[in-house]
Amino acid sequence: MLSLREVFASFKDSGCSVLTLEDSLPEGAQRVDFVVVGSVYADTTAGARHVQSLETACAHLSAGAKLLCSCPDDFEVTQAGFMKFGSPGLASTFLEKVTGSGSYILGKPNPWALREAWDQMVEHFGGPAMGLRFSDALYVGDSLATDVSLALQHEMDSALVLSGTTSRADLAS
């Protein structure tokens, strides 16, 4: 999996930089334009500094930066069935509430993310995939809020696996 720094490396020539808590603003930079929230887990160095990250993000957002979020999930579920916190949804919601800013979701359920994945599939498989439409696909996911929602928005059939954020109890309610 690529780090945020690696994902945004292609923008370096346009004068963009990716900063972490270890970095200071580049010389001559006036402000931060975007704050990106991704997954952070307590058993990582970044997780141990999570509160400091939130404080820094609040300062940048209050100064006019935009908030980007990789996905709205609040947690993941481990193979053992336990909730694992660190997904970006809670941090993004916190930052929105504290600063009054809105956020833009980069991943699911963003339709652009689906379109990009679809285009990559068609490019990879070529001829046999050229005539396919979203309605020909089955979207398999583990979240009603992101996966199934995205599938329904694009008239795709969907299959929900109960290994993620949605449980049988959620389906009953």
pLDDT at 16 over 90: no
Residue found by looking up tokens 């141990």 in the block = 48
Q: What topology does CATH give the domain 4-105?
A: Rossmann fold (3.40.50)
**Contact yes or no for 147/125 (Cβ under 8 A):** no
Q: For residue 148, is pLDDT > 90?
A: yes
Q: Which of 20-24, 150-154, 157-161 has the lowest mean pLDDT?
A: 20-24
- Please check whether the two domains, 4-105 and 111-172, share a CATH topology: yes
Residue 66 φ/ψ, nearest 5 degrees: -95, 150
CATH dotted code for 111-172: 3.40.50.1000
Predicted TM-score (pTM) above 0.85: no
Q: Report pLDDT for 42.
A: 65
Write down the mean pLDDT value for the chain.
85
Q: What is the pLDDT of residues 57-101, one digit of tens each?
A: 999 999 999 999 988 999 888 888 888 888 899 999 999 999 999
Summarised one tens digit per residue, pLDDT across range 131-144 is 899 999 999 998 99
pLDDT beyond 90 at 103:
yes
- Residue 76 vs residue 15, higher pLDDT: 76
128/136 Cα distance (integer angstroms) = 13
Question: What are the structural domain ranges in the chain?
Answer: 4-105, 111-172
Tell me how crowded residue 115 is: count the other CB atoms within 10 A of its CB.
12
Cis before 88? omega within 30: no
Distance from the first to the final alpha carbon of the chain = 35
